A and B are shown apart, each in its own frame.
Chain A
Amino acid sequence: MPTATFTSDDTYDDGRAFNDSVTLTWAQIRDGAGNGAQTNVGTTQYAFLQAATTSNRWDSDYRGIFTTDSSSLTAAANISSAVFSFYPTAKTNDFTSGLSMILAAPAATDTFVSGDYDNFTFTKQATDLAISGITTSARNEFTLNATGLSNISKTGASKFGFTTSHTADNSEPTWASGQPDSGVSWENRGGANPPQLIVTYTVGGYLGWGYANTGYW
């Protein structure tokens, strides 16, 4: 059973879509349109939520996007397990949040636009990682659940998203003054430890690209 590692590149990129420096209600910032996006932006927040200075309003919600060309698996592949691996560099956790792996559906995989912000589906692709438990300066992993495995494309681009658990769960944190925030920054595809989607799989009656039990490998 082969173990294949996929990463982002120029055509299937990583980045983020966001609302930044706004003063919106929870419903507006969670379900409304975004005001910006960045592609291949480097080490930065790929999931971030911040309170506004105005009571019960929200200033920022950043959502990460990871895309990769997984078409070489082909429709014949049976995926048995997968992890999304990433390398956090910093975190904040004023709201005692989790980091959620969700689905992204950017209009294009090579350049993200603000319109991608409200094209996330908040279905969990893996069990949340508590931000308190995330280790910076080390690889951390989401282990994909059955839904996540089913959303690895075997014929095209796999597209995953990341956000705080408050946004994913539509659970408004308790607003407080001083602009508290929760979020995680990590290295992108240009870093020393780029995000990776690592998949174990079989192909039909074959094991990967070799015949099973033939000693081909």
Chain B
Amino acid sequence: MALMFTAMSRQFKNGIMAIIYTLKNEIGVFEQSLEGKDNHTKRQLKAKLLAEAGLPSTFQYKNYTITVTDSPHTRDSLAGGQGEWLEVSVEAVDNNTNQSILVDNPLQWQNPYFKVHDGTYYKETIPVIGEVDVKNLVENPLEAFKEQIGYIVDLVARGKIRGGQS
């Protein structure tokens, strides 16, 4: 069983990567508000949180410029479940080649994550393998949303999923 110890962060200090351990973060206010709610409600609240996170019309992810063409919103699914889905449409350009990345829009998430790495780490011990660094997370729906959009763009750019079928 993995056990939690203290944590660390990686920071460049005098040109040397320094590692600083901290305790595992406490859960945030939004996550606390999800406690005791059923899964459908959790999905609704997560979708709403990210849809209202203030996604800018254009942003950078890795070497891509991503432009939002249809604002983020929540929607129902064909199978039911009111407002359970987060949805957005985007266009993307590879800054290195100036080529468009043909993303299959709309992009949809049923249970989007809303936390991102805060730069610090804590340690867990995995049997046999030993200690591993685990990222401390902080609630940041805007950055989490950008990350999830950017990852889809990156997947298409790397040819991992079919793109340009819209």
Interface, chain A (partner B; CB < 8 A) = 1-11, 38, 41-45, 48, 50, 60, 68-69, 71-74, 76, 80-83, 85, 89-90, 92, 139, 141, 143, 155, 179, 181, 183, 185, 191-192, 194, 198, 200, 202-203, 207-210, 217
Contacts and interface: CB of A to CB of B under 8 A. Distances in A.
A209 B39 contact: no
Interface stretch (B13-21, B91-99, B124-132): B124-132
A43 B126 contact: yes
B56 interface: no
Given A1-B166, A198-B161, A42 B135 contact: no
Contacts of B79: 71-74, 155
A43 B161 contact: no
A203 B127 CA distance: 45
A111 B85 CA distance: 25
A98 to B, nearest CB: 18
A143 B107 CA distance: 18
Contact of A43 (B110, B134, B166): B134
B106 to A, nearest CB: 5
B78 A2 contact: no
Nearest to B154: A139
Given A5-B112, A81-B161, A83-B160, A198 B155 contact: yes
Interface string B59-99: 00000000000100001011111001100010000000000
Indicate the size class of the contact surface on chain B.
35 or more
B104 A209 contact: no
A3 B132 contact: no
Contacts of A203: 78
Contacts, number: 140
B100 interface: no
Given A1-B165, A10-B42, A200-B161, 4 more contacts: A143-B160, A192-B116, A192-B137, A217-B105
Contacts of A4: 108-110
Nearest to B117: A192
B148 interface: yes
Given A185-B126, A191-B134, A217-B105, A207 B166 contact: yes
Contacts of A191: 134-135, 137
B162 to A, nearest CB: 4
Contacts of A210: 106
Contacts of A44: 2, 124, 126
Contacts of B105: 2-3, 217
20 contacts: A1-B104, A3-B104, A4-B108, A9-B43, A41-B2, A42-B2, A42-B124, A42-B134, A43-B126, A72-B77, A72-B80, A83-B155, A85-B155, A89-B134, A191-B137, A192-B115, A200-B162, A203-B78, A217-B70, A217-B89
Contacts of B133: 89
A141 B151 CA distance: 12
B152 to A, nearest CB: 6
